[in-house]
Structure 1
Amino acid sequence: MGIPEVGQVQFALVADCGSSLTRVALIEQVDNTYRFVARSEAPTTVGPPWSDISVGFLHAVSQLEGVVGRPLLDEQGHLIIPTEGTTGVDLLVVTSSAAQPLRVVLAGLVREISVASLERAAQTSYVQVLDTIASNGVDLNQRDNERIRRIRQHRPDVIWVAGGTDGGAGRPVLELVETVAMACSLMDSAPRPDLVYAGNVALRPQIAQIVGEEVPYIVVDNVRPSLDVENLTAAEMAFDQLYQERKLGNLPGIHALHAWSTGPILPTARAFGYLVNYLDYRYEGPKGVLGVDVGSASTVVAASFNGRLSMTVRTDVGVGHNALATVEARGIEAIQRWLPFSAEPEEILTVAHNQVLRPATVPLEARELAIQQAIAREALRAALGTARAAWRRANIPFHRGLTPQVEPIIARGAILTRAPRPGQAALMLLDALEPVGITTLLLDPYDLAPGLGAVATLKPLVAVDTLDGGAFVNLGTVISPVGRARPGDIVLRIKLTYESGGGYEVDVRYGTMELHPLPPGEKARLELRPRRGIDVGRGGPGRGGGPIEIPPSLLGLIVDARGRPLRLPTDPGARREQVQRWMRDMGV
């Protein structure tokens, strides 16, 4: 799909339709510069009684009208686009994660090679893998009718087939395709699954004959053109495209949004990735850029290193619709370890159940909030674990078990951006991501990130100006020294000098967490003197580099000297005391 030409834009509307909430924001050009004006939100209306996603969108726009004092809807309640005098907008971009994940079955010759490559490609979009079928291993002696039964039972949206290097295995791949095609043809109701072939290119003509016209057939590049080369680019794009067509494209009421939208409706995760990738190009530094999105039904990690975007979408973990699934996947003990109090499994499961039933509700009690935030930590840690595996395969330099050096970290999701205290958001990110060296924590409180990523593909200046104008909120600058030391050892000396004058020096001890607030709106200069063997990301162990400018932020300077990887006491009582101490240190 080509990118449409966009003319003069004075008013731009960005919308993100999530699984629980639909958010819209208005951007206006004033004195040749684009600035964020205001935002509003309304419940997403995919399900009954509305069963029309455009209803929630229009509710949110109607609220926005009242905030900005500019008519955006006509007398029939439809969006005014393009502008008409003093009404309407010139551009609308829509992103969405409101649809259910794309349901797929993956089939290949070798589970550890072709099937594994398909699984990695599937992890970059809103995809649920229902089953995997391989011609080796446990499936070696499995009869074809058992495979057919499994495919018919799952009734997937798409079946992927891979196998054989280019010019390699032939007959086994054709036999696998014959089995899949038979399963599809035996399904008695439309639509039948799409069949996507990502294997040996030499077999494409024969496979087209086997599949025939009864099954929709798509061809993408071989995911394993040779045993030592993995090529996932085309497969990742196809997963996104199929999600857009088969899932987003079939949402009730989506046709209205398509009619108003200036460009295609993009998956939220992919649009967020576009923004992270853009920021990586913009910063042009040796570090990467990391973005995380903790949603109701899914958790996203988007990272860009040297201009190369890496996406991880976990559709099985979240803090709303998938809160209970997160607890079940990670285990009760994993949730308990982040709590400053003793909680029985029944209490944790009750909180998770309530979030599934009412994902948009705000907890009223401190215990419930702490449990929700613990679930968010584990959702993020689960997604980060998947992302790290992808980074290793992409040869991203980082120590095993640690996060690569990144600048900045962009965080979105209501559990983070609407935390009652900024220290709670920072602590969730530090506990889950365990950044190393020096980085900045940025929050997306106005839910602009996916929209700006989508706008950047149509009208880049809108995204650039809006980012420069304060689209994100600076939560704080983090120093995370890495190296071996004993608890209580001095690992770092910092010197902080305020822009208005004055300052101080302080020693940092291993195992501690310190918060150094800055006066409101004021910058500071930071000098670091790490102990020998301690690395703060300034050229190697023991090197502090030159002075660093610390920009104004909500929290100021955060020194996280707890060590990497983070280790909590095994004794439950001692662990709870440790968590309480960290919370106090962060002003929580």
Structure 2
Amino acid sequence: MSREMTAILATDCGSTTTKAILIEKVGEEYRQTFRGESPTTVEAPFDDVTRGVLNAIQEIEELSGRKILDGEKILTPAEEGRGVDIYVSTSSAGGGLQMMVAGVVMAMTAESAQRCALGAGAIVMDVLAGNDGRAAHEKIERIRVLRPDMILLSGGTDGGTVSHVVELAEYIRAADPKPRLGGSFKLPVIFAGNKDARGRIQEILGDRTALVMADNIRPILERENLAPARHKIHDLFLEHVMAQAPGYGVLMGWTGAPIMPTPAAVGLIMENAARAQGLNLLGVDIGGATTDVFSVVDGQFTRTVSANLGMSYSISNVLAEAGIEKIERWLADPLAEQEMRNRIKNKMIRPTTIPQTQADLALEQAVAREALRLALDQHKALAVGLKGVQQERTIADAFEQEEGGKSLIDLYRIDLIIGSGGILSHAPHRVQAMMMMIDAYQPLGLTQFAVDSIFMMPHLGVLSEVNERAATEVFLKDCLVPLGSCLAAEGRAKRGDPCFAYTIRFADGGLVQGTLRFGEILRIDLPPGAEADLQAEPSKSFDLGAGKGKAVKLQAKGGVVGLILDARGRPLALAEEESERVAQLRTWAKAVDLYPK
């Protein structure tokens, strides 16, 4: 079936906008050909998500000249330039999938439950644990007030103590939480803890909740098994949460594959693309309210969501968490503190506004650097191994496990960093997107960068479940815009001391040589599709990936920005004195042409 598909329709029902894309077979390859969008209509006055979906599809009809709808029916299969072979969709409308998780010990079963829920595409509203320091009445009140879409309850190894996880179940019963959607419907609770406790959990929660049992996510302390509970989360998301949202019952009848939560679909396409190319990648989707970070390292995938870090609704949280000084340090034209605060608060209360001046743009991009940095720090904190050596994790929840809880994100080993979200995808100049990610993530060695052109990763993620070839081809050819590569040295020295010497040989025979000094950055043209042989020899204080002072030979890939050689050192340190820092920022901006005329 997948080889015969010639036309594919996909939608992503976001919290504010429903985006539709048409994918067609052009010659022997799949390409994204047309796109339409419409305001999402899940809330009043429409209370029907299908209205927005139909409007977005009608826009594709008008642009493409292809008849797809017969009234409110999608024509399938495709034949002679009309209809489509399959329709698929993702959704984060109505706030997406909002969950609470609970475990007996915060650093063990509760953390595993959190990883499980995040991997399934959920926003984790709170993590309850027997040792989280809150009194019983505080936990009960928290459950009652948050009104999650579902709760994942874990705790206890198989055959271990029962009393602690039973206590957590009693808190849930006492709270008697009402679901966010559907007045007459019971809240789904997944129990994925000690199998010996199932009888007691059934007695406590069976009559008050829609209780479902899953295999223990920590059957023994040294092993984690997240896949069964994750599948239950997806099933309940469709059966309970989506079914209660206005219009989703009809929408589910149209689709040729189950509707997926948007973040889970984004993670899936990243995992597939990384596997297809044999890459270690890091991806970020920075939105108005949340920032999702994804990583695929040695085929192992994870996702974290920073629910308090975003560029509109949550922009004040970035200010509060990072601090005014951290944001101010990125401004080459400093603003008075009160002026900065006012502009940031205005963005929060008017989330759809866009920067009108270069000063406005510089401030937003300064905030974005801190949001990206903080979200990666949170990702690293959760991307740690268990104290054991065995694992059973799959897409959306897998990590190589190591002793000692060491983070599994090694920036030397990241081959590709992908940016998505308005501040990155719609930056006025692509070099600004690349520099935001370089400054925030501080990559090491040679790293490729790309951005999602029009945020079609969710569509491609759900499509990959039914036609992986089409999804991967469109992801690589139409979705990703290659920005280029960055070679960065780790180390510190006195400003002006030699950092590394470089020799670049281009395919046309051209040659560029030079030496970068500590504190300098250089941009070299290397267009999309081009490659160059790059040799670099660091001074004894610096490391380019082979060890301090050891030369490297690499293949640099081009992009719309080109090749960035970064000798500013790692960790990146800006001057503390304001005039010196401003001079530093202006020099760097000029070197990479950050604000082209």
- What TM-score, normalized to structure 2? 0.87
1:505 to partner: Cα distance: 0.4
Answer yes or no: is 1:274 the counterpart of 2:268: yes
* SS of residue in 1 equivalent to 2:4: coil
Residues 214-266 of structure 1 deviation map (CA, whole Å, 9 limit, x = unaligned)? 32112233333333444444444445555555544443333343232221111
Q: Hey, what does 2:520 align to over in structure 1?
A: 512
1:28 to partner: Cα distance: 1.1
What are the residue-to-residue correspondences of 1:373-412 with 2, within 5 Å?
Answer: 373-393=365-385, 394=399, 403-412=411-420
| Distance (Å, rounded) in 2 between the aligned partners of 1:32 and 1:266 | 28
Q: Which amino acid aligns with 1:504?
A: V
Deviates more, 1:373-382 or 1:523-532: 523-532
| Distance (Å, rounded) in 2 between the aligned partners of 1:469 and 1:130 | 36
Q: Which amino acid aligns with 1:212?
A: G
Q: 1:318 to 1:245 in 2, by over 3 A?
A: farther
Q: Hey, what does 1:85 align to over in structure 2?
A: 80
Deviates more, 1:453-462 or 1:229-238: 229-238
| Distance (Å, rounded) in 1 between the aligned partners of 2:469 and 2:287 | 28
Answer yes or no: is 1:27 the counterpart of 2:39: no
Q: 1:237 to 1:510 in 2, by over 3 A?
A: farther
Q: Hey, what does 2:538 align to over in structure 1?
A: 530
| Kept after mapping to 2: 8 A contact 1:310/1:390 | no
Q: Hey, what does 1:14 align to over in structure 2?
A: 10
| Distance (Å, rounded) in 1 between the aligned partners of 2:283 and 2:408 | 20
Q: 1:496 to 1:151 in 2, by over 3 A?
A: closer
| Distance (Å, rounded) in 2 between the aligned partners of 1:159 and 1:39 | 36
| Distance (Å, rounded) in 2 between the aligned partners of 1:338 and 1:280 | 32
* SS of residue in 2 equivalent to 1:557: strand
Answer yes or no: is 1:300 the counterpart of 2:299: no
Deviates more, 1:144-153 or 1:339-348: 144-153
Q: Hey, what does 1:562 align to over in structure 2?
A: 568
| Distance (Å, rounded) in 2 between the aligned partners of 1:20 and 1:343 | 32
What are the residue-to-residue correspondences of 1:301-316 with 2, within 5 Å?
Answer: 301-316=293-308
| Kept after mapping to 2: 8 A contact 1:491/1:510 | yes
| Distance (Å, rounded) in 2 between the aligned partners of 1:56 and 1:15 | 10
| Kept after mapping to 2: 8 A contact 1:211/1:217 | yes
| Distance (Å, rounded) in 2 between the aligned partners of 1:113 and 1:396 | 14
Q: 1:466 aligns with which of 453, 458, 474?
A: 474
1:283 to partner: Cα distance: 2.3
| Kept after mapping to 1: 8 A contact 2:12/2:19 | yes
Q: Which amino acid aligns with 1:390?
A: L
| Distance (Å, rounded) in 2 between the aligned partners of 1:373 and 1:263 | 38
Residues 10-55 of structure 1 deviation map (CA, whole Å, 9 limit, x = unaligned)? 1112322222333222221122321222323333333344343333
Q: 1:157 to 1:25 in 2, by over 3 A?
A: closer
* SS of residue in 1 equivalent to 2:574: coil
Q: 1:257 aligns with which of 246, 251, 254?
A: 251
1:573 to partner: Cα distance: 3.8
Q: 2:441 aligns with which of 428, 433, 436?
A: 433
Answer yes or no: is 1:337 the counterpart of 2:337: no
| Distance (Å, rounded) in 2 between the aligned partners of 1:396 and 1:388 | 14
Q: 1:575 aligns with which of 581, 586, 594?
A: 581
| Kept after mapping to 1: 8 A contact 2:448/2:557 | no
Residues 114-147 of structure 1 deviation map (CA, whole Å, 9 limit, x = unaligned)? 33433344444554555554434635xx4x5665
| Kept after mapping to 2: 8 A contact 1:422/1:554 | yes
Residues 146-168 of structure 1 deviation map (CA, whole Å, 9 limit, x = unaligned)? 65444334443333333222211
Q: 2:68 aligns with which of 67, 72, 80?
A: 72
Answer yes or no: is 1:114 the counterpart of 2:109: yes
| Distance (Å, rounded) in 1 between the aligned partners of 2:83 and 2:178 | 51
Q: 1:528 to 1:521 in 2, by over 3 A?
A: same
Residues 491-512 of structure 1 deviation map (CA, whole Å, 9 limit, x = unaligned)? 2222122323322201112222
* SS of residue in 2 equivalent to 1:119: helix
| Distance (Å, rounded) in 2 between the aligned partners of 1:62 and 1:421 | 31
Q: Hey, what does 2:33 align to over in structure 1?
A: 37
1:329 to partner: Cα distance: 3.2
Q: 1:347 to 1:260 in 2, by over 3 A?
A: farther
1:186 to partner: Cα distance: 9.9
Answer yes or no: is 1:194 the counterpart of 2:202: no
| Kept after mapping to 2: 8 A contact 1:410/1:443 | yes
| Distance (Å, rounded) in 2 between the aligned partners of 1:345 and 1:238 | 48
Q: 1:324 to 1:17 in 2, by over 3 A?
A: farther
| Distance (Å, rounded) in 2 between the aligned partners of 1:577 and 1:249 | 57
* SS of residue in 2 equivalent to 1:88: coil
Q: Hey, what does 1:478 align to over in structure 2?
A: 486
| Kept after mapping to 1: 8 A contact 2:188/2:236 | no
| Distance (Å, rounded) in 2 between the aligned partners of 1:519 and 1:183 | 59
Seq. identity, %? 33
* SS of residue in 1 equivalent to 2:504: strand
Answer yes or no: is 1:216 the counterpart of 2:224: no
Answer yes or no: is 1:59 the counterpart of 2:55: yes
What are the residue-to-residue correspondences of 1:218-257 with 2, within 5 Å?
Answer: 218-257=212-251
Deviates more, 1:397-406 or 1:527-536: 397-406
| Distance (Å, rounded) in 1 between the aligned partners of 2:183 and 2:57 | 39
* SS of residue in 1 equivalent to 2:265: helix
* SS of residue in 2 equivalent to 1:282: helix
1:419 to partner: Cα distance: 0.7
| Distance (Å, rounded) in 2 between the aligned partners of 1:196 and 1:451 | 28
Q: 1:399 to 1:106 in 2, by over 3 A?
A: closer
Q: Which amino acid aligns with 1:90?
A: D
Q: Which amino acid aligns with 2:430?
A: P
- For structure 1, the 5+ residue unaligned runs are none
Q: 1:252 to 1:21 in 2, by over 3 A?
A: same
Q: Which amino acid aligns with 2:32?
A: F
| Kept after mapping to 2: 8 A contact 1:16/1:95 | yes
1:460 to partner: Cα distance: 1.5
Q: Which amino acid aligns with 1:483?
A: G
Deviates more, 1:272-281 or 1:119-128: 119-128
Q: 2:450 aligns with which of 427, 442, 452?
A: 442
Q: Which amino acid aligns with 1:581?
A: T
| Distance (Å, rounded) in 2 between the aligned partners of 1:185 and 1:474 | 47
* SS of residue in 1 equivalent to 2:312: coil
* SS of residue in 1 equivalent to 2:292: strand
| Distance (Å, rounded) in 1 between the aligned partners of 2:425 and 2:66 | 27
